[in-house]
Amino acid sequence: MRYVRFRGPSGIETGKVEGGQVVTKGDARIEVLDPETLTLADPYELLAPIAAPEVWCTDFTYEQSRDARVEESAAQDVYARVYDAQRPRLFMKDAAGRRTVGPGQPIGIRDDSNWNVPEPEIGLVLGESGRIAGLTIGNDVSSRDIEGANPLYLPQAKTYAGACALGPAIYVTENLDATLRIRMRVTDEFGQIVFEDETSTATMRRSYAELVEWLLLHNPVPPGSVLLTGTGIVPPDGFSLRAGHFVDIYVPEIGRLINPVVRASELIQKSAS
C-alpha cells in the first residue's frame, strides 16, 4: 500500500493510493494523473510524503559506492576500511526539513563544487522505537570533489540547500526483505538522456534492521525521521549534475521521484525573498 501527502484547499493532508485515486481520511477521492509520479489533479499539489524531523544517511552499503569513494579520495584507506567495518558510517543530512524537497521541486548543486552527483537510495521511514513504518525514495545529492579532497569536509559535501529529495510516496509492506529494483535516469533540458543506470537492494551489504540499530544506538532519533540506506548507482567520473538537468528515480513499488536541478544559491535567494 502507498500513502502520499499533499496540499489542497483544506491545507496539508495525507491519503492512501487506491487504483487511480487518492483516498483521504475523510473518504474524499482525488484523481491521480500518473500512476508512477502520483501527480494529482488540480488544485492538489503532491508534497514530500513525510515532514521528516530528521533525515539521516549511511553509505558504503553497496560495493559500487565504496569503489567510487576510494577512487575519488586522497584518503583512500579510510574508505576502503569502512566498507568492511562492523560499524557503518552515519551522518545527518537534514533537520526540520530545511534542505529537503518533494516531488517536482528543485534540488540544489553547490557553486563551489565542480563534481555534483545524485545518489538514489531507499529511505526507511521510522516509527515509534525505531520501527520501520515504510519505505520511500531518497536522493542524497552530493559534491564528490569536496568530500574527495578531505573526508572531514563531509558536512559541506552533503548538507546544503536542496541537497535531499523524498517521494513520491511511502510504501508500507510486511515484506521488508523483498528485493527492490532502483533505476535512475538524468536528462537535460531538451529531454536527452545524459546518464542512466539501475541496481537492486539485493546487492546491499547491510540489512535495514542493522542500519537502524546502529542509528539508534545512544541516539534519540524522533519518530517520522528517515534513514537513507546508501546508493548502488554511481555515475562515471566525467559526469556532473548541472542546472537544467532532471533527475528521475524509479522504484516500481514506490513510484517515480523527479526533480529539476538548480544552483543551491538560487534556492537560498528564493527563501530569503
Regarding whether 115 and 30 lie in a shared domain, the answer is no
Regarding whether 142 and 265 lie in a shared domain, the answer is yes
Regarding whether 42 and 169 lie in a shared domain, the answer is no
Regarding whether 235 and 173 lie in a shared domain, the answer is yes
* Residue ranges making up the domain that contains 148: 54-272
Work out the burial of residue 27: count CB atoms within 10 Å of its CB; fewer than 13 is exposed, 13-18 middle, 19 or more buried. exposed
Q: What percent of the chain has pLDDT over 90?
A: 86
Regarding whether 82 and 11 lie in a shared domain, the answer is no
Regarding whether 255 and 128 lie in a shared domain, the answer is yes
Per-residue pLDDT at 93: 98
Per-residue pLDDT at 81: 75
Give the number of domains in the chain.
Answer: 2
pTM attached to this predicted model: 0.94
Q: Can you tell me the mean pLDDT for 9-36? A: 96
Q: Residues 205-256: pLDDT tens digits?
A: 999 999 999 999 999 999 999 999 999 999 999 999 999 999 999 999 999 9
Regarding whether 156 and 245 lie in a shared domain, the answer is yes
Regarding whether 203 and 73 lie in a shared domain, the answer is yes
Per-residue pLDDT at 186: 98
Q: Residues 111-137: pLDDT tens digits?
A: 999 999 999 999 999 999 999 999 999
Regarding whether 215 and 170 lie in a shared domain, the answer is yes
Per-residue pLDDT at 271: 85
Per-residue pLDDT at 76: 56
Average model confidence (pLDDT) for the chain?
A: 93
Regarding whether 242 and 198 lie in a shared domain, the answer is yes
More confident residue, 62 or 268: 268
**Taking 60 as the threshold, does the pLDDT of residue 109 lie above it?**
yes
What is the DSSP track for the chain?
-EEEEEEETTEEEEEEEETTEEEETT--EEEBS-TTT-PBPTT-EE--SS--SEEEEEE-SSHHHHHHHHHH-S-HHHHHHHHHSSSPEEEEEEETTSSEE-TTSPEEE-TT-S-EE--EEEEEEE-GGG-EEEEEEEEE-EEHHHHHH-GGGHHHHH-STT-EEEEEEEE--S-TTS--EEEEEEE-TTS-EEEEEEEEGGG-SS-HHHHHHHHHTT--PPTT-EEE---S----TT----TT-EEEEEETTTEEEEEEEEEHHHHHHHHH-
CATH of the domain at 160: 3.90.850.10
Distances (CA, A) of 212 to 11, 72, 226, 230: 32, 28, 10, 13
Regarding whether 231 and 146 lie in a shared domain, the answer is yes
Per-residue pLDDT at 139: 98
Q: Can you tell me the mean pLDDT for 71-75? A: 55
pLDDT tier for residue 77 given thresholds of 50, 70 and 90: low
Q: Residues 175-210: pLDDT tens digits?
A: 999 999 999 999 999 999 999 999 999 999 999 999
Regarding whether 146 and 171 lie in a shared domain, the answer is yes
**Taking 80 as the threshold, does the pLDDT of residue 100 lie above it?**
yes
Which is it for strands 132-140 and 164-171: parallel, antiparallel or unpaired? antiparallel
Per-residue pLDDT at 75: 55
Report yes or no: 172 and 127 within 8 Å, Cβ to Cβ.
no
